[in-house]
Chains A and B, each alone.
Chain A
């Protein structure tokens, strides 16, 4: 079953305006799912991750309602049909 990414407004210029992106694949982990997302939409890659491949400090990724920071990071398993949200954190000045 496809998984779905929810794309925030700031990144939609890289998804042709799409707020939802379905990936017809069964990635095992969030890392694999992100890899699949940025093969489709390469511009998202550097916005979400640093050049070292880590999720940026002030960006959060949720699988369902769980922030992956507390569920194993990029190794967090992705259940079939999962909804993954990319959300900027509450921060800044």
Chain B
């Protein structure tokens, strides 16, 4: 082909090759300019379309004189091969520039504005692109965007499934669908014709990809990709993507064309508004809308009131909610909630004056994160699982082991620790969750090993004094710390034993069972290990063994006294092989000198034939004075002390295995008020909190 003359263009060199054909650099010998010349591959689809059709398209496209559109000069045929002569654009494709981590938001906005501007011009002239994708967008050295191949997709039909796309299995009905699968709008997959709004969908995909380096809808097969396009909500884009840009992308990716922007010029205006830091308010349609609520009519509820002590108990067969006055002598029991589901994580969140109980539920139908704003009378029942691994990870959620509300001044932030070991975060009160990639991509991750409870991230600790610092613990992976809000993580296990490894003090891989810190002295942490009890006084830089005089240093929970950073509680079990209370005597051990010595607390606890196990989250304290402590056992007993552990009494027995206990005091609005708010969805709540208001509009339905 090199040296040949097509029309009045001499072919100089091959530039590249795509699904549509081969592209050459050529020289127009009449107009004396460099041009690009694309020779189209012969395909069945191409043969079906007539040269006349292509000519018409090219004419229309060539009328699109716009700085961001690659101009088509000529289309012709030689020796049965169709070719297109167009403006020679030198630069890199947006795909190639994006890389794996995405571009800075400023660049995404700068390019996005130009792409939207090109689309606006084309749509004005009645031309739909139909195959907008990052590979079709070229950025010149000056930063000018050029959108390629306008108006060609329609006539080329399925031929444009290009190389990266063909690595996916081809769609069954490919012959009737034009475009590149990950960019195809849901309505096209459902057999509707493409219109301007399908281009705006593709623009949403392009912006998502440019901002994150990932496609919003991925998968290994065309079935998975199409299914994701039709049903999935893409993983939220958090920092550094500004919320305004994320909102624009979300609206472009609304499943229903009617819920998208209707014109490219609207997208252009929205992107320009984000660029100039103006706030963009958009209500985002789709599945992110409030999940349905299920009322628990057939369950007995505890009548929780202001000032009550609240006790949340998760078991392997459901959850229970208990209440008591601050006397803590008589307990009113609600439940079981979620009959037959394992509830490994619960949390009470009263930031911003709300009264929200969180629970993770697991059964053969999957794992769900749910919440209740009325102390268990009704619960969210989201259609789509809120915490989910993005498709590109290839992983599926097995269980949620920990739900940790964020800091007091960030009431919409929460974290979930899950199995397989990973950390998720929400910044909008739980409406959307995203995987924290900094930890997920850690090079140690492939070498973490599952423990008895699977490979779980079970503990999340936030440093109240340093917003950038947090700790997580993984069985078996060890303790990791971030100093930059989650972007990077380091293993912090110096001095912690790993009895099951050839090197007993490895950098990571320890089977840490639980860690705890005291908010008033956040540089100090305590750690209950799979053999070993430790303290760190330097933000987990190093750990010191403090198992001084306890009958066994094997155990699961560790609890720090909320007012005394020297006072810690543990519940030792005999050994790895026999994970039951030592000598059949259930004893909680307490230190009041940060581990220099320990004392057994057993008055009121069973001391004969009590082969009990207390798992990592089944030990909790309330905030009252004197301290109330609560212990749930594998055998389904629940014990409490209201004098800091000196004496104990049994609250309940006969429960399923207790795996999670949480205690709190209900402050703020009375339970009555809360219930009324929940039952009258249309009334305005006194709280200005956004997520709370949105929840009140949810429909109630019988469950």
Contacts and interface: CB of A to CB of B under 8 A. Distances in A.
Nearest to A41: B383
B394 interface: yes
A13 B477 CA distance: 40
Nearest to B223: A31
Contact of B383 (A46, A53, A58): A46
Contacts of B701: 13
| Interface size bracket, A side | 20 to 34
Given A10-B365, A56-B365, A59-B365, A45 B396 contact: no
A32 B701 CA distance: 30
B224 interface: yes
A18 interface: no
17 contacts: A13-B381, A13-B701, A42-B287, A43-B383, A43-B384, A45-B384, A46-B388, A50-B366, A51-B397, A52-B224, A52-B394, A52-B395, A53-B219, A53-B221, A53-B228, A88-B365, A92-B364
Interface string B516-536: 000000000000000000000
A52 B366 contact: no
For the complex of A and B, the 10 pairs showing the least CB-CB separation, nearest first, are A50-B396, A58-B364, A43-B383, A47-B365, A51-B388, A53-B224, A46-B385, A88-B364, A31-B223, A42-B383
Contacts, number: 74
B444 interface: no
A91 B364 contact: yes
Interface of B (DSSP majority class): loop
A45 B587 CA distance: 46
Contact of A35 (B227, B364, B389): B227
Given A13-B381, A53-B223, 16 more contacts: A10-B365, A13-B701, A32-B223, A39-B231, A42-B383, A42-B384, A45-B384, A46-B383, A46-B385, A47-B366, A51-B385, A51-B389, A52-B389, A53-B224, A53-B227, A74-B223
A23 B703 CA distance: 25
Most chain B CB within 10 A, of A14, A52, A57, A58, is at A52
A44 to B, nearest CB: 9
A1 interface: no
Contact of A89 (B231, B364, B381): B364
Contacts of B366: 46-47, 50, 56
Interface string B572-603: 00000000000000000000000000000000
A32 B395 CA distance: 22
A53 B229 CA distance: 12
A48 B224 CA distance: 14
Contact of B364 (A13, A52, A59): A59
